[in-house]
Amino acid sequence: MSPTPPAFLFATGIENSNPRINGGTLRVDEYARCGHYERWREDFALVEDLGLNFLRYGPPIHTSWLAHGRYDWSFADQTFGELHRRDIVPIVDLCHFGVPDWIGDFQNPDFPVLFAEYARDFARRFPWVQLYTPVNEMYICALFSARYGWWNEEGRTDRTFVTALKHVVGANVLAMREILKLRGDAIFIQSESTEYFHAETPAAIAPAELRNAERFLSLDLNYGRRVDSGMYEYLLDNGMTRDEYHFFLAHSPLKRHCIMGNDYYVTNEHLVSEDGHTRASGEVFGYAVLTHQYHQRYGLPVMHTETNLRDDDPGDAERWLWKQWANVLRVRNDGVPVMGFTWYSLTDQVDWDSALREPNGNVDKVGLFDLDRRMRPVGRAYKRLVAQWREVLPAQSLCLQVPIVMPSAYDPESLPEAYWAAQARARHGR
């Protein structure tokens, strides 16, 4: 008998950011910094110990993707093989803030097509994988790499930002299209940062409105939604062509394969001054209000795909967990189909206090476990939450369930003919 998949996606993730910094001279590899390369078996056992079936996870793109059509899948074969054995469902991050050295950065116009081929070849090698986040936090990736000047190309202009944005979203769209050719029931969970910009003074209303329109750009393009008129002019003024814009509109049917994953941290709301500069405002509206805004815009099922809080004072992280969970329940009770929740990440992270800009080795105490793999109080609280709520939530909405095939229930005979045709081409070197 095939195992029944959980009706609600309780998840965690293993942080796999890998941008380059310092003029491209240093790769920030969070798997290495957090000890995952050596302790991956232990990490997967911790996921099971929490009672979780879903894990945001991905192969390290910079060491897996060696050149056009050339890969080293050795680490992915081991780790994904173990996930399959444990019947843990991966939500696969294929690109998490970085690209291989040979690609360069997100200004490379060849990146979207090349990345789609990478996604296709991953899906061909691991056909049992169903859930994907092809490009993680597309807006943040473009913003930090190409306007703030922190990562990768270290761009600081609107033109470099728009170029990065159209390339990362284009890569995401083409990757979805290629994966669906092989796995027609693939589901894409777009993990995107949920943002809001508050005007500090009346004179700041105009720049705040501009940023509040811009925050939707990545998802507007990804889902083929026509952008606001001001944003259309902004995109065209900064290098996007009409043909490129219409490419995104033409792919709007992909939206039906998607769950809108939205990430919320205490840093996701901002104060905007009259000169357009921003700084953190802390939590003002909160997850529930912002999620309603995004859901009203896109009308998609929702998953809370990232949250955490540094446990600097005893109880801080636990209080944040319960606050986020209360917001999830509020949104769900208001009629928004919320399909899952994620504490990110499984273990503590390193140097996110500087947004990975400085290689200081500072440990961010945001994990369910510390870097010695000892469970934190928030880990115990999350384990209790999952155990208490996992059987209650399905009873509230039997019809609103994600059609997930557990790894152990995967039947290769159910694959579309396109999969077998692609395998035949691969065997013949075409």
With the CA atoms of 148, 151, 155 and 158 taken in that order, what torsion angle do they form, in degrees rounded to the nearest 10?
A: -50
What percentage of the chain exceeds 70 in pLDDT? 94
> What per-residue confidence (pLDDT) applies to 395?
54
Please state, in angstroms and rounded to a whole number, the distance separating the CA atoms of residues 278 and 85.
47
The H helix count followed by the E strand count for the chain is 16, 17
> What per-residue confidence (pLDDT) applies to 429?
44
DSSP conformational letter for 396: H
Please state, in angstroms and rounded to a whole number, the distance separating the CA atoms of residues 59 and 40.
12
Could you tell me where the DSSP H helices lie in 283-376? 287-298, 316-333
Q: What is the DSSP string of 263-310?
A: E--TTSEEEE-TTS-EEE--SSS-HHHHHHHHHHHH---EEEEE----
Given a cut of 60, is residue 294 above it in pLDDT?
yes
Q: What is the mean pLDDT of residues 277-304?
A: 97
Please state, in angstroms and rounded to a whole number, the distance separating the CA atoms of residues 193 and 136.
9
> What per-residue confidence (pLDDT) applies to 417?
61
Q: What is the mean pLDDT of residues 94-117?
A: 98
Query: Which pTM was predicted?
Result: 0.94
Cβ within 8 Å of residue 78, ≥6 positions away: 40
Given a cut of 90, is residue 420 above it in pLDDT?
no
Residue 175 and residue 134 in contact, taking contact as beta carbons nearer than 8 Å: yes
Residue 409 vs residue 343, higher pLDDT: 343
What confidence category does residue 330 fall into, taking pLDDT thresholds of 50, 70 and 90? very high
What confidence category does residue 130 fall into, taking pLDDT thresholds of 50, 70 and 90? very high
Class of domain 9-427: alpha beta
DSSP conformational letter for 412: G
Given a cut of 60, is residue 425 above it in pLDDT?
no
Given a cut of 60, is residue 328 above it in pLDDT?
yes
> What per-residue confidence (pLDDT) applies to 406?
93
Residue 10 and residue 386 in contact, taking contact as beta carbons nearer than 8 Å: yes
Please state, in angstroms and rounded to a whole number, the distance separating the CA atoms of residues 7 and 382.
18
> What per-residue confidence (pLDDT) applies to 421?
59
Of 390, 411, 398, give the one whose Cα is nearest residue 53.
390
For the chain, which residues make up each domain, given as ranges? 9-427
The strand order across the sheet containing 278-280 reads 196-199, 269-272, 278-280
Of 224, 307, 303, give the one whose Cα is nearest residue 265.
307
What confidence category does residue 257 fall into, taking pLDDT thresholds of 50, 70 and 90? very high
With the CA atoms of 180, 259, 226 and 246 taken in that order, what torsion angle do they form, in degrees rounded to the nearest 10?
A: -10
User: How far, in Å, are 184, 309, 361 from residue 353 at the CA level?
Assistant: 40, 11, 10
Question: At how many degrees (to 10) do helices 287-298 and 316-333 cross?
Answer: 40
pLDDT in tens, 334-365: 999 999 999 999 999 999 999 999 999 999 99
Of 196, 187, 367, give the one whose Cα is nearest residue 287.
196
Could you tell me where the DSSP H helices lie in 340-416? 377-389, 392-396
Per-chain mean pLDDT for the chain: 94
Of 116, 149, 137, give the one whose Cα is nearest residue 20.
149
Q: What is the mean pLDDT of residues 292-298?
A: 98
Residue 74 vs residue 413, higher pLDDT: 74
Of 46, 47, 82, give the one whose Cα is nearest residue 374.
46
pLDDT in tens, 237-247: 999 999 999 99
For CA atoms 288, 293, 294, 296, the dihedral sign is positive
What confidence category does residue 392 fall into, taking pLDDT thresholds of 50, 70 and 90? confident
Please state, in angstroms and rounded to a whole number, the distance separating the CA atoms of residues 133 and 391.
26
Q: What is the mean pLDDT of residues 14-22?
A: 97
What confidence category does residue 391 fall into, taking pLDDT thresholds of 50, 70 and 90? confident
Cβ within 8 Å of residue 18, ≥6 positions away: 27, 28, 29, 30, 31, 60, 61, 62, 96, 97, 98
Cβ within 8 Å of residue 426, ≥6 positions away: 124
What confidence category does residue 411 fall into, taking pLDDT thresholds of 50, 70 and 90? confident
What confidence category does residue 2 fall into, taking pLDDT thresholds of 50, 70 and 90? very low
Q: Is 87 exposed, middle or buried (0-12, 13-18, 19+ CB in 10 A)?
A: middle
Please state, in angstroms and rounded to a whole number, the distance separating the CA atoms of residues 301 and 306.
16
Q: What is the mean pLDDT of residues 119-128?
A: 98
Given a cut of 60, is residue 302 above it in pLDDT?
yes
Please state, in angstroms and rounded to a whole number, the distance separating the CA atoms of residues 262 and 303.
6
Residue 279 and residue 316 in contact, taking contact as beta carbons nearer than 8 Å: no
Residue 168 and residue 121 in contact, taking contact as beta carbons nearer than 8 Å: no
pLDDT in tens, 228-239: 999 999 999 999
Place of tokens 């910079």: 62
For CA atoms 113, 118, 121, 123, the dihedral sign is negative
> What per-residue confidence (pLDDT) applies to 288?
98
pLDDT in tens, 175-214: 999 999 999 999 999 999 999 999 999 999 999 999 999 9
